[in-house]
Each structure stands twice: as structure tokens, then as C-alpha cells.
Amino acid sequence: MTKRSRKQERLLRWKIVLDTSVLVAALGWGGAALDVLNLWKTGHIQLVVNDDIAEEYLEVLERWVQRTSLAYWRLWFSHPAKVTRVHSFARRFEATRDVTDNKFVDAAVAGEARYVITRDKDLLSLGEFRGIQFVEPKRFLAAFRSAGGS
């Protein structure tokens, strides 16, 4: 068996887009949403973001965490080993009823994500779009674990 480089390991991780509703749920209530966040923080999954999503995460976090923790989160969302940053301005999809949710679709397509993990009904109503699954945290965790994920 050959050893894989860190870059190869990162490329093998499932790429996901995390809707802000899941981030809020993880910080506020824990549960499956927190389990998903921990999978990302421990390097088991790769987060895909675009500038609009990263900005929204930080705006929401300003309401949930202390100012000193905000710098910590900013680093997490820009860490190249944990985050795939995409520029989805070239392709804008109008897939959802709520146009403010389209940024998650744009990032998922541009970053070739497998999943958009969300609690948002408009995103969940998509079910699947261009091979990307739109699922709640519990359903993602079940799929991840059944595929042999930690």
C-alpha cells in the first residue's frame, strides 16, 4: 500500500457545501449539525465556499460568537487544506425559489460538491441538482457512515 500525500487525501474527501442554517444549528443546538461541522474541522470532509457564502457565515457568526473567536472562524473558512474556495460568478443558477439561496447551488456546481447540507426547505425541495444531493445533516451523516466514513 502506498502512502498518499496530503493533497491526494484532500482530493479524496467528499466535498460539501454547508448552508448557513446548519452552521447556526451546530452552534445553537448541536446534534447532527454539530457532527457535520466536526467532520469538516477534523478533515473528514472538504468544505466548498464562494465569497458570498464565506461573507454570510461571518456575518451570522458575529451574532453567535465573541469577537475574539471571529478571527478564529475567519481562518477556518480560508484554510486551504479544509476549504475549497470557488469563484462562481461565471455561472449563476436560478434553481431555488429563494434567490438568496442560489449562492449555495452556484458554489456546489463550481466546486463539484457531492452534497449541499441544509435545513432550508427551499434548498431541500431541490432534492438533487446536477448530481448534487440536497440533504439534511442526519441524512448526510447516514450516507457518509454507510460509505465507510468516520
Residue 1 lies in a domain: no
**Domain with 108 in it:** 8-146
Residue 3 lies in a domain: no
Residue 114 lies in a domain: yes
| 3-state class (DSSP) for residue 134 | strand
| pLDDT at residue 3 tops 70 | no
Strands in 115-117's sheet, in edge-to-edge order, are 83-85, 45-49, 14-18, 115-117, 132-135, 128-129
Residue 132 lies in a domain: yes
Beta strands in 19-114 (DSSP E): 45-49, 83-85
- The total number of structural domains in the chain stands at 1
| pLDDT at residue 5 tops 90 | no
Helix (H) or strand (E) holding 38: helix 31-41
Q: In one letter, which amino acid is 111? A: G
- The predicted pLDDT at position 87 comes to 84
Residue 21 lies in a domain: yes
Per-residue cell: 110: 463550481
Q: What is the CATH number of the domain that holds 105?
A: 3.40.50.1010
Give the pLDDT confidence of 121-134 residue by residue, as tens digits: 999 999 999 999 99
| DSSP β-bridge partners for residue 135 | 117
Half-sphere exposure of 86 (CA within 13 A, CB side): 25
Give the pLDDT confidence of 38-70 residue by residue, as tens digits: 999 999 999 999 999 999 999 999 887 887 788
Give the pLDDT confidence of 6-25 residue by residue, as tens digits: 544 444 689 999 999 999 99
The model's pTM: 0.85
Q: In one letter, which amino acid is 135? A: V
Residue 2 lies in a domain: no
